[in-house]
Amino acid sequence: MIYPKKLNSRKSKIIIDVLLIFTMLISAILILINKLTTPNVSWAYIAICGFVYFWVTLIYSLKRNTNIAAHILLHMITTSLVVLYIDKILNFTGWSICIGIPIILMAANSTMLGLSIIDSKRYIRYAIYQLVIVCISIVQFIIAMNLNIDFKVLNIVSVIISLLNFIISLILSYKEFYKIIICKFHI
């Protein structure tokens, strides 16, 4: 080998196609849950907009070779704050906590999963960002549980997805991850 291992064009095509189908499937499931649980609030379409937004970010960052995971994390935090702010100025009904932020978290998680598959050499880099996403997921979950809101399904789903995603990354790069944790936290 005279070059670092890069993903074969045929394989990357398959991965992207599979991820696209996966996104479409999740979107369909969300629409179904939306219709069955809260047909008056079309939150599933907001989630689909979120998926589109993260796909555009993913493709753009991959083409430009920028630190994609950091981009996604930054976008996730800023959009969550914007959603929270909009909810607050609209007399805070809690939709940002029980719908908005969980959707953003799910979209960020699926993008991170996509990244880990496409750019397998950087599992470890993504695992660190996923750890941050897990922490944010847990925080929003705790807040949701303490709020007087009926609809908490998405909070539960998003925290489960975040944890699962993080565990997958850990399995893929547990040795490197262990080293990084020791180094970062001076253990």
List contacts with another protein (CB under 8 A). 1-10, 12-13, 16, 59, 62-65, 118, 121
Closer residue to another protein (CB): 29 or 59: 59
Minimum gap (Å) between residue 80 Cβ and another protein: 27
Q: How far is the CB of 16 from another protein (least distance, A)?
A: 7
Nearest residue (CB) to another protein, 56 versus 164: 56
Nearer to another protein, 65 or 146 (CB): 65
Number of other CB atoms surrounding residue 19 within 10 Å: 18
41: phi > 0 → left, psi -120 to 50 → alpha, else beta; which? beta
CA 102, distance to chain mean position in Å, is 9
C-alpha dihedral, 28 to 46 to 74 to 71, nearest 10°: 50
Token digits for 169?
Answer: 């990354």
Give the three-class secondary structure for 41.
coil
CA 167 to mean position of chain CA atoms: 14
Closest separation between CB of residue 54 and another protein, Å?
16
The residue among 1 and 89 lying less far from another protein, judged by its C-beta, is 1
To the nearest whole angstrom, how small is the minimum distance from the Cβ of residue 12 to another protein?
6
